[in-house]
Amino acid sequence: DAKTTQPTSMDCAEGRAANLPCNHSTISGNEYVYWYRQIHSQGPQYIIHGLKNNETNEMASLIITEDRKSSTLILPHATLRDTAVYYCIVRGDSGGGADGLTFGKGTHLIIQP
Amino acid sequence: DAGVTQSPTHLIKTRGQQVTLRCSPKSGHDTVSWYQQALGQGPQFIFQYYEEEERQRGNFPDRFSGHQFPNYSSELNVNALLLGDSALYLCASSLGMLIYEQYFGPGTRLTVT
């Protein structure tokens, strides 16, 4: 699996858009970008994933650059409950059966009131 | 709809002892993965069970073993506990072919003294 690089921490004002960057310059053609987050004292929570097209769901948007070497997770209107560690994970789709995810240290996003 | 449940919530053991942790997957899920999360680190993949067999394993010694039952629930066993085994142990479930989303439980906090 390709490795990812994320900032250690970021601040964002409540109500503003939070933009979390991730570099994955060694990503290969069949590898997806996944984002999970972990709120303090809870297990990680799936947010979104994508291959090469931009994706949006009820939680967030994922913007992947054309060369796929980096991506940005966007929380459009951050709230205090979005304070968490956000993990960017790159992993190939191996088909049948679920494989383990490789988590790095992630970005600690702090939403300021 | 019950999510992933884990028991016990907290556990204190002594070096050299053995421990068993339990996980019930989200309703409808058939695949269970286990992760270890040390303080300040991201979760590390231990192994994954599907159809009652260990399908994939991370870089963990044989002291870590598991089992999956016909109802898809799972156990994680750790023998000869070391101080370094102190961590949050997370269970994640998914539906076999749908590898994009893993649903995590709240974890079991294991302290080895």
pLDDT of residue A97: 41
pLDDT in tens, B40-98: 899 999 999 999 999 889 999 999 999 999 999 999 999 999 999 999 999 999 887 55
Res A26 pLDDT > 80: yes
Q: How far is B17 from chain A (nearest CA, A)?
A: 26
Q: Report pLDDT digits (tens) over B6-25.
A: 999 999 999 999 999 999 99
Mean pLDDT of A66-87: 97
Residues of chain A in contact with residue B55, where contact means CB-CB under 8 angstroms, are 97
* Amino acid at residue number B52: E
CB contact A29 to B (< 8 Å): no
Say yes or no: A103 contacts chain B, CB-CB below 8 A: yes
Nearest CA in chain A to B107: A43
- Count Cβ neighbours within 10 Å for each residue of A18-43 and write b for 16 or more, e otherwise: bebebbbeebeeebbbbbbbbeeeeb
Q: Which two tokens stand for residue A107?
A: 């970005």
Question: Of B62, B33, B39, B48, nearest to B111 (Cα)?
Answer: B39
User: How close A78 comes to chain B (CA, Å)?
Assistant: 22
Q: In what order do the strands lie in the sheet with B19-24?
A: B5-7, B19-24, B74-78, B64-68
